[in-house]
């Protein structure tokens, strides 16, 4: 009986630990993207890429089939 409880506590701790790791990864990725899009060089690069590929993007959106 005692061993079962210990195992359940251990599993609960593992789930919490895994959740914390996943949350930290998501926050780190969000922060990296935020920093990337704040830099003027990256913003200019993305703007030129969008201008060059505007027709292709609109064509892809028009042909997309959402199921």
Q: What is the pLDDT of residues 8-61, one digit of tens each?
A: 677 788 899 999 999 999 999 999 988 888 888 888 888 888 888 888 888 888
Report the sign of the C-alpha dihedral through residues 49, 50, 51, 56, in that order.
positive
How far is it, in rounded angstroms, from Cα 19 to Cα 17? 5
Specify the pLDDT at position 26.
Answer: 96
- Given a contact cutoff of 8 angstroms between Cβ atoms, the answer to whether 36 and 29 are in contact is no
pTM score above 0.75: no
């Amino acid at each position: 009986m005692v061993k079962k409880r210990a195992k359940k506590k251990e599993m609960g701790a593992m789930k919490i630990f895994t959740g914390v790791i996943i949350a930290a990864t998501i926050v780190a990725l969000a922060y990296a993207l935020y920093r990337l899009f704040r830099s003027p060089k990256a913003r200019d690069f993305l703007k030129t890429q969008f201008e060059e590929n505007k027709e292709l993007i609109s064509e892809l959106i028009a042909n997309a089939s959402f199921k």
